[in-house]
Amino acid sequence: MPAAAALLSFPMDWRQYQEAEVKITKLDVFHVNWNPGRSAWVRIWDDQGRWGIGEASPMNGGNASLEILGAFERTLVGADPLDISVLQSRLFHHYIKIGPEGAFAGALAAVDIALWDLKGKILGQPIYKLLGGAWRTQMPFYASIGDMRERSVEQVVSVVEQWLKIEPALVKIRFDPDKTCRDEDIPGDIAKARAVRKLVGEDFPLAFDGNNGYSVQGAIRVGRALEELGYLWFEEPVQHYHTESFHKVATALDIAIAAGEQEYTLQGVKRLIDAGVDIVQPDIVKTGGFTGLLDMAAVARAAGVDFVPHQTQPTIGHMANLHFTASLLHGHYPAEYADMSGQQSVVLKTPLRPNNGKFFLSDRPGLGLEIDEEQLGKRMIPWRA
Ligand code: CA
């Protein structure tokens, strides 16, 4: 028999679906209303009353991801929750035409994070153990501070001072400009970068996030200033979809160029690496959860590129990211932390806050989050109510 025919005659083993010892019985798909703002969460139940919880990227309240999660339910119910990679590939390929990026990848991420949480509870292990073990369980973080474009130099210095009180290992200033404009205030941006350097002293680690606000020439001008100021990385200097522009900027500058929070697929991350980006930053609530990030981290490792996941969601996303980065080889950058208000911790029995500049991972199973069901119930809006 020719080799091609032999391959075609190798069928999927659907019996595994029928004979699973543990089965998924239902999905709870819901918003958590923070008023203002909403998160898009899913809780996946098994036939023994256990559940895992996951989160999708919250863009536009996560509405589109919730809609897609509703569609996923019919594929997931009856399946073995431990078949995580098979389920992700099945969902990815079956529903590909409503993706493969954006809200679709966010829905895949929510399912994946929930299934890893459930797997941890089934096996009685924290996720970092299931990922192969933790290099560290005391996790330093970096302060990710936004809206710098609209603040004055004095306001920039003041907000960084507030964050320094909780002892971040690094500070990143994010400019969050109007992405339809470019190079709006390059001298002003550089002045703010200089003021922050002056505030923290010459050895403190700093990063600068252009949030896609520059032309190639503008980015090179800003990047040269950042090199002089000793910044560690220059994030998203140009539009995220212009990989050729990333190539030009990365070629012209010595400072590490970072990007990837707006990539959703393995192939998208590879394109950035091929363009010469030095640090890739996919996000666990956007890119297929743990399963997606594991593939991407392997591609980055093979290319000798640093892997520093993006993450700004303060409960499930943050905890999932901590488990992942704890298990990441050469994960010598701190984990992103963007919301020190603690507002969303109200739905947790133990608030997620850093202590002496670190987050501590416990050995509780799964994500290790203890949900305050009463508080969550007050904020929960079922998607198909
Ligand atoms: Ca960013």
Give me the phi and psi of 157, to 5 degrees please.
-60, -40
DSSP letter for each residue of 257-295: EEE-TT--SHHHHHHHHHHT-SEE--BTTTTTHHHHHHH
- Position 384 scores a pLDDT of 77
- Model confidence at 9: pLDDT above 60: no
Report how far apart, in Å, the C-alpha atoms of 323 and of each of 134, 260, 317, 365 are.
8, 19, 10, 11
Residue 261 CA to ligand 1 center (angstroms) comes to 7
- Inter-residue contact 256 to 279 (CB < 8 Å): yes
Three-class DSSP category at 53: strand
Length of the chain: 385
- Model confidence at 17: pLDDT above 90: no
DSSP, res 141? E
Residue type, 46: D
Residue 58 CA to ligand 1 center (angstroms) comes to 15
| Percent helix / strand / coil, the chain, rounded to 5 | 45, 20, 40
pLDDT tens for 141-167 read 999 999 999 999 999 999 999 999 999
DSSP letter for each residue of 247-258: HHHHHH-SSEEE
Residue 14 CA to ligand 1 center (angstroms) comes to 42
pTM of the entire predicted model: 0.95
Spell out the long-range contacts of 156-164 with Cβ–Cβ below 8 A and sequence spacing 24 or more: 156/192, 156/195, 156/196, 157/195, 157/196, 157/199, 160/196, 160/199, 160/200, 161/199, 163/340, 164/200
DSSP letter for each residue of 292-335: HHHHHHHHHHHHT-EE--B---TTHHHHHHHHHHHT-TT--SPE
Q: What percent of the chain has pLDDT over 70?
A: 95
Residue 272 CA to ligand 1 center (angstroms) comes to 15
Which domains, ranges and CATH numbers included, belong to the chain?
Answer: 5-124 (3.30.390.10), 129-361 (3.20.20.120)
Residue 144 CA to ligand 1 center (angstroms) comes to 9
Q: What percent of the chain has pLDDT over 90?
A: 92
pLDDT tens for 223-236 read 999 999 999 999 99
Residue 285 CA to ligand 1 center (angstroms) comes to 14
**Reported confidence tier of residue 4, pLDDT bands at 50, 70, 90:** low
H helical segments located in 57-173: 63-76, 84-94, 102-123, 127-130, 153-164
Interatomic CA distance for residues 24 and 91, integer angstroms: 15
Question: Beta-carbon neighbour count of residue 86 at 10 Å?
Answer: 15
Residue 84 CA to ligand 1 center (angstroms) comes to 29
> H or E segment at 171?
strand 170-174
pLDDT tens for 188-234 read 999 999 999 999 999 999 999 999 999 999 999 999 999 999 999 99
* 306: CB partners within 8 A, 6+ apart: 256, 278, 279, 280, 300, 330, 333
Residue 155 CA to ligand 1 center (angstroms) comes to 20
Residue 223 CA to ligand 1 center (angstroms) comes to 16
Residue 97 CA to ligand 1 center (angstroms) comes to 27
- Model confidence at 385: pLDDT above 60: no
Mean pLDDT throughout 51-71? 95
What value, to the nearest 5°, has the Cα angle with vertex 137 and ends 133 and 142? Answer: 120
Mean predicted lDDT score pLDDT of the chain:
94
Buried b (16+ CB within 10 A) or exposed e, 219-233: bbbbbebbeebebbb
- Model confidence at 5: pLDDT above 80: no
- Position 16 scores a pLDDT of 56
Residue 336 CA to ligand 1 center (angstroms) comes to 10
What are 204's two structure tokens?
């403190």
Residue type, 172: K
Residue 62 CA to ligand 1 center (angstroms) comes to 19
Residue 383 CA to ligand 1 center (angstroms) comes to 29
Residue 51 CA to ligand 1 center (angstroms) comes to 32
- Inter-residue contact 263 to 295 (CB < 8 Å): no
Residue type, 189: D
* 65: CB partners within 8 A, 6+ apart: 40, 56, 57, 103, 104, 106, 107, 110
pLDDT tens for 263-299 read 999 999 999 999 999 999 999 999 999 999 999 999 9
- Model confidence at 19: pLDDT above 80: no
* Beta-bridge partner residues of 40: 31, 56
**Reported confidence tier of residue 31, pLDDT bands at 50, 70, 90:** very high
- Position 62 scores a pLDDT of 94
Residue 187 CA to ligand 1 center (angstroms) comes to 21
Residue 43 CA to ligand 1 center (angstroms) comes to 28
- Model confidence at 116: pLDDT above 60: yes
Give me the phi and psi of 180, to 5 degrees please.
-85, -5
* 228: CB partners within 8 A, 6+ apart: none
Residue 230: half-sphere exposure toward Cβ, Cα within 13 Å: 12
Residue 355 CA to ligand 1 center (angstroms) comes to 25
- Inter-residue contact 51 to 43 (CB < 8 Å): yes
Residue 335 CA to ligand 1 center (angstroms) comes to 13
Question: Beta-carbon neighbour count of residue 49 at 10 Å?
Answer: 7
Residue 134 CA to ligand 1 center (angstroms) comes to 26
